[in-house]
A and B are shown apart, each in its own frame.
Chain A
Amino acid sequence: MIPMKTLYDKLWDSHIVHESPGQPALLYVDLHLVHEVTSPQAFEGLRLAGRTVRRPERTFATVDHAIPTLNRDLPFKDPIAAKQVETLRANCKEFGVALYDLDRIEQGIIHVFGPEQGLTQPGMTIVCGDSHTSTHGAFGALAFGIGTSEVEHVLATQTLPQSRAKNLLIRVDGELPFGVTAKDVILGIINRIGTGGGTGHVIEFAGAAIDALSMEGRMTVCNMSIEAGAKAGLIAPDEKTYAYLRDKPFAPKDEEWDRAVEHWRKLPSEPGAQFDRTVKIDAADLEPYVTWGTSPEMSVKISESVPDLADARDDGQKAAFTRAYEYMGVEPSQKIDAVNIDRAFIGSCTNARIEDLRAAARVARGHKVSGRVKAMVVPGSMQIKRQAEDEGLAKVFVDAGFEWRDAGCSMCLAMNDDVLGEGERCASTSNRNFEGRQGRGGRTHLVSPPMAAAAAIAGHFVDVRNWKFNEQ
């Protein structure tokens, strides 16, 4: 009997270019996304070896990490960032790679850009020199982050030597309660399995609660699978996936579309396919989450308190907790909703799509940002920015006192001017709360977009389930 295959098994098997015993398999790469930070040394390597880009038509670049989100018509204030962007421009030109530069409406965070342009499609292999490439797994594509040497490898050969990962199934059954978003689903999962819980595995997310998510929500979940240590995250494509892609610029057209959909329908894991591990989560147990520490697994539900040392599972975690209390300036047993914030950041490839902005605007409508908080909204792409302006969301934010910026990574990693000051505390919709991630000495608490908007207005974390919404 032929064993039943998982979605990952199918993606893997259909991309093997070459296999020999004792060696990693050579996988074909369908789509290679490129940005300014992890590519200069890769192009330089090509040049030194006299190589070319094998498939420029499968390679797409945009700028996102180091660019400013204000006054983009002026020259960059940071000459080193300017040089990096210039270098990408020159490289794309020299090697014939399409670049969606700052003057393009398509420009945005690379993981927002790919799906939005319909470049990301089910059944593909997708790589990018960026760990959050896992985002694209929401379409049933095998998508993972690579380093600069691997970027060079893919540019030169359109393939990558890879070892097969294990299959981990995470089922989220039931219905998400009111006020619980995709962000809370993934924070809840990481809280449960830990930052190493997915190491060596590709996670497939399934179950009624995942099925019910929009494509935006599914991208949020897959985006943070890397924070659970996984190689990639996956969600089987379905009608929602096809509806999302239907008229996107790079989506297949006419008959090709029909053929593509027919192929995509064969991708989902077969009933009875074997997973190496399965984790089951009941959606009803989830609440809005807030991270309290310096690792995405250090989170609590909004109704809870910062854990005590006694809650640590071992000595290593005790030491990590102690360090995190100190760095974050929080006390064991402190109620998380008693923590005041100084900044709020709504943005990043985790949570800067139109649906995220709608959810945050719904909270912000008719309210004012607290006098103690500086808050900003950074759309994931210029296209989303325009759409949010057309839908009146931008006005809601501006009226409430949020800054409204141009698209980019911004304070998710603070490579540009958007930086937390020493000791400043931020409610952030991004994906990493590491020490110094948003600025040296900065304190990051990861939350969903509605929770960030509510915290910006209240001046401290609040339970968005009790929010007073001003409907239009």
Chain B
Amino acid sequence: MKPFHKHTGSAVPLMRSNIDTDQIIPKQFLKRIERTGYGEFLFYDWRYNSDGSLIQDFVLNDPRYSAASILLAGENFGCGSSREHAPWSLLDHGFCVVIAPRFADIFYNNSFKNGLLLVTLDSADVEWLANEAATEPGKPLTVDLEDCVVTDGQSFTRTFKVDEFRRHCLLDGLDDIGLTLQHEAAITAYEQGRFEAQRNAAV
């Protein structure tokens, strides 16, 4: 996984709540057996008409946001299915960060495992950023994972909370499986029933 330290880029506002993974990447694109190449299908049904033409007034189709790398969204972003194709498609499309008031659980895990940083801010702050992005497309925003800060370099600076372990993994680009295999002995011991007593005591 690519380490994440600090990212500066512009933001695009997509302030709907409950944006589910079926919207992020519709099911017809889940049949592929690769991890890459999903970016062109991101928000497919919102970006394209059924004849394949662009839906002009969808914000991601607005040329002023074509370089955006930070997505601003409403409550409960990423709810629905466990498809990891959702963070894959966001990353492949060029997003590095999503900022929302709340994320769904499985999507949250999936994103961190792929180096997509999710930042949780108060709704009012996300709204404020969305307004800024709407009035001044292309305005840069910096997301710093070392200090856990989002700032526009001017009036807006907010700190955010992120689980310390996840932060550490993302900063160092650590491979989860590698980390776990350091506990190989504990896994084997558990399997051999050394923990049988503990298991019985626990219930």
Contact = CB atoms under 8 A, between A and B. Distances in A.
Interface of A: 5, 10, 13-15, 17-18, 22-24, 26, 28, 37-38, 40-41, 44, 49, 51, 54, 65-66, 78, 80-81, 83-84, 87, 123, 129-131, 145-150, 152-153, 156-159, 161, 163, 195-196, 199-200, 229, 231, 263, 266-267, 295, 316-317, 319-320, 323, 413-415, 422, 432, 434-437, 440-441
A229 B106 contact: no
B203 A316 contact: no
B203 A14 contact: yes
Interface stretch (B75-83, B144-152, B154-162): B75-83
A369 B180 CA distance: 55
B79 A229 contact: yes
Contact of B176 (A51, A158, A161): A161
Interface in B106-126: 106, 109-110, 113-114, 123
A67 to B, nearest CB: 11
Nearest to B186: A18
14 contacts: A14-B199, A38-B84, A78-B31, A147-B82, A147-B106, A150-B110, A156-B180, A199-B102, A199-B104, A320-B18, A413-B22, A415-B27, A415-B28, A437-B22
Contacts of A266: 203
Interface of B: 16-18, 20, 22-23, 26-28, 30-35, 45, 50, 74-76, 79-84, 102, 104-106, 109-110, 113-114, 123, 163-165, 176-177, 179-181, 183, 186-187, 190-191, 195, 198-200, 202-203
Q: Does more than half of chain A's interface fall in helix, strand or loop, or is it mixed?
A: loop
Contacts of A38: 82-84
Contact of B17 (A153, A231, A316): A316
Contact of B183 (A26, A80, A432, A437): A26
A199 B78 CA distance: 12
A263 B23 contact: no
Given A84-B31, A266-B203, A316-B75, A435 B45 contact: yes
A163 B108 CA distance: 13
In order of increasing CB-CB distance, the 10 nearest A-B pairs are A147-B110, A40-B33, A13-B202, A147-B84, A149-B113, A148-B84, A14-B202, A80-B31, A145-B82, A14-B199
Contacts, number: 172
Contacts of B176: 149, 153, 161
Given A13-B203, A131-B81, A195-B79, 19 more contacts: A41-B84, A44-B33, A44-B35, A49-B177, A81-B31, A87-B33, A130-B82, A146-B109, A147-B82, A149-B176, A158-B187, A196-B75, A229-B104, A266-B203, A316-B123, A435-B23, A435-B45, A440-B45, A441-B50
A149 B17 contact: no
A10 B203 contact: yes
Contact of B165 (A23, A44, A153): A23
A131 B31 contact: no
B17 A320 contact: yes
Given A159-B180, A320-B17, A436 B33 contact: no
A391 to B, nearest CB: 33
Contact of B31 (A66, A129, A320, A414): A66
A104 B109 CA distance: 34
A145 B79 CA distance: 12
A410 B26 CA distance: 15
A48 to B, nearest CB: 11
A195 B74 CA distance: 13
A84 B176 CA distance: 26
Contact of B74 (A84, A123, A159, A316): A316
